[in-house]
Amino acid sequence: MKRLTILCAALTAAMFMNMSAYAGTSEVAAEVSAGTVCLPGADLTDVMGCGSIFSDQHPEITDPEYYLKEWYNSPQEGEQSILNAHGEYKTPYNNYMDEAYPLLQEFLHSFDWIHADEYTRYQKAFERVGAAYHGNIYDADAGYNRSKERWLVLRTRHGMCEQFSNELAELCKLVGVRCEAYQSSAYHKRCLVQIGEIWYVVDPTNNGVKNCKAVDYAAERDRYKNEYFASEEAQILQEQLDMGEKAQKGEITWREYFHYLFPDYTDEQIQSQLGMSYEEYGNLWK
């Protein structure tokens, strides 16, 4: 039963932690209202500040492609590689890098980010892969059906919150800005970006609206996860897992366990669904 309960837990957690694939505009709009909202093209430096100039912090780095090359050639990328049908070593999530790489190079050479402050670097990344900028379109169908394609927005200008947020975070890192995509609710993904010493929530999905809110990094990053695990749904799941453990240890019978899960079902209905008797089922886990 341990394997079954673990699978149940994994599926349930995935349902709540990865439902960004189904993000809707109403959820996005509700979250945006929590921060400072400005029209496209607005300057938020009075809210977020400018941060440091990259060359002042890292005078030893002069190549605009420094982080791109470092990331692309990293051992982590190599360790994830698999041999595909064409005899090429590429990760399943990295299967469009040949197409994306020149676009990343183009972006890195589109402005002098080496001598730019943090806000300018973040802003350029936002305007390259944010919704309603650069011809980018919020497209839930493309985002869901092509979720395994890396740099979907950069390459096709279509995506949803998961792609917009992931790509903003990755693009910021390539110009030396700390940024992280995170699950802000069951249905939505946003970003945390650091300008100066302060972390801000930013949302690249709301039709070009720029927004920000200063937050505690760890508290906001883990907020939804903590809210979920404190919820009634999570507590019910934990109780189910605990009952499964008791059945494995023989503290309760498998009949008691399944009647706990399905109180309105008869023995015949439960065993019909299992395709075996309680005793036969219990023997599978010995």
Q: Which domains does the chain have, with CATH numbers?
A: 23-217 (3.10.620), 228-283 (no CATH)
**Does residue 156 surpass a pLDDT of 90?**
yes
Convert the pLDDT of each residue in 220-232 to its tens digit. 989 988 887 777 7
Which residue would you say has higher pLDDT here, 10 or 203?
203
Distance of CA 60 to the CA centre of its chain: 32
CB 190 within 8 A of CB 22: no
CB 228 within 8 A of CB 234: yes
Residues 6+ apart with CB under 8 A from 183: 17, 18, 20, 189, 224, 225
Highest mean pLDDT among 6-20, 59-73, 87-101: 59-73
Q: What is the pTM of this model?
A: 0.67
